[in-house]
Amino acid sequence: MNLKPLHDYVVVKPLVAETTTKFGIVLPDTIDKEKPEKGEIIAVGAGKILDNGQLSPLAVKVGDKVMFRKYSPDEIKIEGQEYLVIKETDIMMILE
């Protein structure tokens, strides 16, 4: 399915870090129920419409790995895959 967010929304695939103990045991992601704060952008909207009617393009692009506010995303599930939908203003930084 092709996702196309509107305006200044972006669709993010959450990045869940595996937790490994110092003895090499990998803990499942169910151990940590914290909401994700990092993800990879898989779709972006056209941009924000300014008060004067002009379109301001987004600063992020598909493939960027980003850090965002923990409680800002809306969670959706499409074809068994979990995605997050957030506004560009809730993205704090691009991870390089």
**Could you report the per-residue pLDDT of 32-84, keeping only the tens digit for each?**
555 668 999 999 999 999 999 999 999 999 999 999 988 888 899 888 889 99
Residue reference for tokens 């965002």: 68
Its domain, for residue 51, covers 9-95
Q: Is the pLDDT of residue 21 over 70?
A: no
CATH of the domain at 66: 2.30.33.40
Whether residue 21 lies inside any domain: the answer is: yes
The predicted model scores a pTM of 0.77
Name residues whose C-beta falls within 8 Å of residue 19's C-beta, 6 or more positions apart in sequence.
Answer: 26, 27, 29, 31, 32
Whether residue 3 lies inside any domain: the answer is: no
Whether residue 32 lies inside any domain: the answer is: yes
Bridge partners, residue 91, by sequence: 68
pLDDT value at residue 37: 87
Count the domains in the chain. Answer: 1
